[in-house]
Amino acid sequence: MPSGLLKWLTVVTLTFVLGGHWAILQSVAWVTMVAGYSQADPFKEALVKTFDGRHPCPICKFVAQGKKSEQKQETQKLLTKLDFFLDSPRIIIFPPRVDPPRPFATRTADTRKESPPTPPPRLLPG
């Protein structure tokens, strides 16, 4: 896959994930509304009608409905994740068991009674 195509695919994917598609649609709606209102009214009044919120176009209504449904879905996902987290079983970790110390015989060099052989043994030719 060419790197240019991969970059554009990444940009488009991030735009949709971050909700940028709603901003693009809303911008298209505003431009369309200003163009439509300015045919009958002066440009200043067309801008006022576009952004006053009392004259929404079908695209504006669609964007508002889409944003609202996404917020509901995100809330439901968040609640599901929290329920899953809160319902997890409790993990109990026990410390290692420590046995009481046992007395044991200490061995030191003076406990050996035999002395080493004199002279030291030699390797026999073989």
The string of pLDDT tens digits covering residues 96-111 is: 888 777 776 555 555 6
In 3-state terms the chain splits into helix, strand, coil percentages (rounded to 5) of 60, 0, 40
- Report CA-CA distances (Å) from 15 to 12, 22, 66: 5, 9, 15
Judge contact between 50 and 37, C-beta under 8 A.
yes
From the list 61, 69, 52, the residue with the least C-alpha distance to 25 is 61
CA-only gyration radius of the chain, Å: 41
Residue-level pLDDT at 86: 56
Q: Is the pLDDT of residue 35 over 90?
A: yes
Q: Is the pLDDT of residue 32 over 90?
A: yes
- Report CA-CA distances (Å) from 36 to 28, 29, 99: 12, 10, 87
Contacts of 15 (CB under 8 A, 6+ apart): 21, 24
